[in-house]
Amino acid sequence: MADAPGATSVWEEAFRSAYPSVYRALVAVLLDAELAQDALQEAFEQGLRKPPSRTDALPGWLFRVALRRARRGRRVLLPFRLDEIIGSVREPSVLSETESLLDRLALGDLLRLLTERQRAVVVAHYYLGLTQQEIADALGVRRGTVGATLSQAIQRMRKGGSYVI
């Protein structure tokens, strides 16, 4: 995809459609809207330089790359804003939408009980639909560790909530 004519526009269109859900997932994991946006912008820039070979798994790819960027603490801003490049993408009022969604689902407080790693695993698995192996690759751990972390996170949420997930 990187060498094909029009690859940039294909990448931009795929990014535009994946942006809202990945942004919400990052906010839920990082609990920091600004860090989530910065990390997602850096993932976009990386995708412009070298797009992933398949766009069907783009949300997972963006989530993995942005989460790695955020964890490194590299909050280097791009010399331009995403909306200047791809036009119609505007930062939605995702934070309030995310908070509303988490409140509506009664998961906001439960997610806050979890460690960052547990939040990342839960959000990646249940919200983005990544497999345990994809999550393991993203976090740099073994698949068994992802399974154990997911199990521990669910147990912790069950103890913290008044209902069973």
Question: Within 10 A of 110 (CB to CB), how many other CB atoms are there?
Answer: 22
Whole-angstrom distance, CA of residue 120 vs CA of residue 25: 8
User: Residue 95: its pLDDT value, please?
Assistant: 53
Per-residue pLDDT tens digits of the chain, which is 165 residues long: 444 556 667 778 878 888 888 888 888 888 888 888 999 999 888 888 887 777 677 788 888 888 888 878 644 443 333 344 334 444 444 556 656 655 555 667 788 888 888 988 998 888 888 889 988 887 888 999 999 999 999 998 888 765 544
- Residue 53: Cβ within 10 Å count: 9
Distance (Å) of CA 120 to CA 2, 58, 106, 131, 156: 29, 17, 18, 13, 14
Tell me what pLDDT residue 50 has: 83
Output the pLDDT for position 163.
52
Domains, the chain = 1-104 (no CATH), 106-165 (1.10.10.10)
- Predicted local confidence at residue 86, as pLDDT: 39
Which pLDDT does position 67 carry in this prediction?
Answer: 87
Q: What is the full DSSP assignment across 28-94?
A: HHHS-HHHHHHHHHHHHHHHHHS--S-STTHHHHHHHHHHHHHHHT--PPPSS-HHHHHSS----SH
Q: Are 145 and 136 in contact (CB under 8 A)?
A: yes
